Structure 1
Amino acid sequence: MTEYSRLVSARVVDFQTIVDSTLELGNLTVLSGSGDVGKSAFLRAIRAVCLNDAVDEDIRHGTKKTEVTLTFEDGTEIVWTKALKKGGCYRMGDTEYNKCQGKVPEAVAEYLGIGTIEVDSTTTLTPQLSDQHDL
């Protein structure tokens, strides 16, 4: 079985309602708080890195790009950026991936170990990233 390095922090800049926020993660992290303070936006930002599925509306109003940085226990950093009217781009270590065509680069996907499963003929899920709005 493949062992994956633990995610230790996530920094989100100009994604939906988030201006600039960093979350340090432990072995178990629980996000709680009042409604409309950015908990779901933070999770959607992490999902955008893992699936490269963000849209222009995810970029915070009045800004031209968003950036999410995931830092792992082994020191690996994955930086994902999305500019208006452009697809997501990645940097992992010294390697940049600028023409992803809406896909996650193979090396990034392999490192993250995130994938989808087919529930039935019309439904797929990403179990590592599913939330209350799925299904």
Structure 2
Amino acid sequence: MTDEDISSLDIQWIESTFDEKEKGSYLFRDHAPAHLSYESQALLEKKGMEQIFIPKGLTGRYQPLDFGLNYPFKCYLKKSYHEWRDKCTEITKKGYLKKPSRQEFLYFVSEAWSKIKTSTVENSFVAASILP
């Protein structure tokens, strides 16, 4: 995937996620090339949003997902997958274990996210020094 493709995905994400009701909002971002593109910046400005870039090398400290959500979410996701794997021992024609379908994978993600407590999200923003 090229930088142009990634930038295009970022623009699609912004368009589908935010509307003009977000005016006066802030979007915290890292220094990924797609986030730095002129097109992304212009689109966010059009929607009345301001990007705030987390200093390089500090995303692990200031990004709430990195700081407090990724670990428990991934643990729940792995648990869902392993429970599925214990029940599904189907073999493909070539003798490999069957992979989960997209729908099954979406179920793993949905189930994992449903186990994340609101307080965990809030505490992640506090720990990342975004909320008091």
| TM-score > 0.5, shorter chain as reference | no
Give the TM-score, by structure 2 length: 0.21
Q: Which has the higher contact order (CA 8 A, sep 6+)?
A: 2
Q: Which has the higher strand share?
A: 1
Q: Which has the higher helix share?
A: 2
